[in-house]
Structure 1
């Protein structure tokens, strides 16, 4: 039996609002973040889920509980935390100014310093962007491409085991992690090339087939467009 997976990006946080790097570091949802999530939750309120999950970071946990509390057709029970669905880890850059961080990453990648992360990724490719991030990190703790790919495989494998025999589940995760899943598992993505960053509260829909293989069908659907899924 195939399992339908709704991957939701958490709501806007204080670090999002302050333009700070936010991977494994955490910050609370903003008022805007909560209000945007109410739209997401309302548009998912009549969608039946057999189970709901989240990463183990508080912004994801708060998001999944808001969605679960609004859903009118599901009896979720205990919501399990899946640490493998955490955001990408940015090492020493956690909590730093985003623009300054990307300038350092661009320089480490052999580019003229720029805060335009889209340009950096388009120039280097996502693999070398991850390598440049780790190189630029003074302690070299940031996740590189291989470590992140291994964690994505672990996340999907664990989810396939967790959801065997279930029809539809929801997982709250994070923007860069969902985007990197999209690059790997979305048919419309092309290899190492960049794809748009998913909005806070957006839904990415995928399928885990009977063999445990995962593919993404709809990527980064805005919260207002959820009824069209």
Structure 2
């Protein structure tokens, strides 16, 4: 069994400003940098070392990964956040109520079905071709939540909790299926 850690990026300027981020980008804040360092410390204290590392193409994900580990990594387009089309960089109060369904499609964004298929297929293919025993993937809240909906935990309790910046979701992978282990907030650990 392999272990994969899906981690959300640190807090960004758009997070603080209450803006929809999606495929657009904004820099990590000082707090976001500290969150990345706390995640690094959590992994080190737990004795977790990565054989491989991946992140989305967004700078906020790459910058977070570089705070956690100095090892080489690969940026993967399929790990990007949900595409919100014309809603990118707009105030979050414009978001519809969850579930979003196909709300963003007429505005040039992705549907819930599209993001789920993209993130699910991307992580599955990465892990099926990755020989490392332990892998770190830094992505985004929406993308990770949609992945989690494909591979839910037995009691569903963690699925209802908000995924904090630098929140870590641990899965075991047997070559075909992912098995939820835990959700960790390094700031609270």
Task: Please give the TM-score of this superposition, normalised by the length of structure 2.
Answer: 0.89
Paired residues for 1:1-229 under 5 Å: 2-45=1-44, 46-69=47-70, 76=71, 78-99=72-93, 101-102=94-95, 105=96, 120-121=97-98, 126=99, 129-134=100-105, 139-163=106-130, 165-187=131-153, 188-189=155-156, 195-210=160-175, 212-219=176-183, 221-225=184-188
SS in 2 for 1:89: coil
| Structure 2 Cα separation of the partners of residues 38 and 32 of structure 1 | 10
Q: Which runs of 5+ in 2 are unaligned?
A: none
Contact 1:130/1:143 (8 A) holds in 2: no
SS in 2 for 1:161: helix
Q: Judging by fraction of residues, say which structure has more helix.
A: 1
Q: CA deviation at 1:195?
A: 2.3
- The higher radius of gyration belongs to 1
Q: CA RMSD in A?
A: 1.8
Structure 1 segments of 4+ aligned residues over 3 angstroms from their partners: none
1:128-180 deviations in whole A, cap 9, x for unaligned?
x222343xxxx5312112211220232123222332x3211111010111111
Q: CA deviation at 1:81?
A: 1.1
Q: CA deviation at 1:225?
A: 4.8
Q: Which runs of 5+ in 1 are unaligned?
A: 70-75, 106-119
Task: Please give the TM-score of this superposition, normalised by the length of structure 1.
Answer: 0.75
